[in-house]
Amino acid sequence: MKVDFEIVSGGVQPEIARMVAKIIGTKVLSVQLKEFPNGERYARLEQSVRNKNLFIFCTCATSNSYSLNDALFEAFIIADAAKRASAKEISIVLPLLPYSRQDRKARTREPITAALVLSMLKQAGVERVITVDLHSTQIQAAFSGPFENLSARKLISNKIKEYIHNYQNEDFVVIAPDAGSVKNSSKFANELEIPVIFLPKSRDEANPEIITRQAVQEDLSDKNCIIIDDMIDTGGTIISAANMLKESGAKRIIVCATHGVFSDGAASKIRDSAIDKIIVTDSVPQKDSISTLKDKIEVITIAPLLADAIRSINNGDNAVDID
């Protein structure tokens, strides 16, 4: 493959960019990044990017000296630096699009923050956005340019197939923990050729963090239950589902998600829950969750998925395979 582009990275999880560059056969361009004493961020591209296609990797997550908003703003200023340095085309790789769950007005006088983020990226000079498993795919319409929403489903389903093979004499079933996950869970179940069961839930209107479910689900005795979701944040949904599954006689509970955010002490709560295994990707840093969950967590890298996307874009293929 002829390399006629450059890869740069923000300060959160630069190893993803390095892994992608290694797969493709190139290197990551040096960028000077720093924070001033007053909290302002600074970025300077240390080599010329004139007339080159640039792929900016920015993981927007809290890590080390970064808040999520620090990482997002760093994406803006790296893109602006590239635009002012006459880069030919600027693509930004945001494995987990920040504010992606704020994709609509649920109540009056609310912002649509996901659309605002995409608008600010466009203003900064970004011409293409690359994400993985958007929480709400319709938000792509808020960006006036190419938008590649990649899917980690094959990576995760291949890992699940290993578990099914290891326990081939046991029964497996896919669990959809809420209404929003039914479509994605059904796709996994069809690919794995196993049944899918929907677990309805309700949230307390005064305190949405409180989740209630029916006491027991029938026909789960001695079954291995696989819970599929796009994101694990505070863990409330999957923990409540896992507890109900265990009370229903489930033998083993495996939880899979593309984005393991694990905020508000979620890793500790999961460690002490009925969940037997967590499978996530490295779309956000997992060092802390690995330290807490140890053998209970398995992390799959999305680097090959991102490398394939960059190859397709660079080679001028008709479309990136998002499935």
Residue 88: active-site member:
no
Q: What gap in Å lies between CA 105 and CA 113, rounded to an integer?
A: 9
Q: What gap in Å lies between CA 300 and CA 280, rounded to an integer?
A: 6
Which residue among the candidates 201, 251, 277, 296 is catalytic per the annotation? 201
Q: For residues 45 and 28, is the Cβ–Cβ distance under 8 A?
A: no
The alpha carbon of 70 is separated from its chain's Cα centroid by a whole number of angstroms, namely 18
Query: What is each CA distance from 25 to 22, 53, 115, in whole angstroms?
Result: 5, 16, 34
What the block records as the tokens of 178 is 């809420």
Q: What would the 3-class secondary structure string for 131-146 be?
A: EECCCCHHHHHHCCCC
Helix (H) or strand (E) segment spanning residue 266: helix 266-271
Burial of 251 (0-12, 13-18, 19+ CB in 10 A): middle
> How many other C-beta atoms can be found within 10 angstroms of the C-beta atom of residue 291?
10
Torsion of CA 64, 231, 152, 186, to 10 degrees: 170
Instruction: Report, as residue numbers or ranges, the catalytic residues.
Output: 201
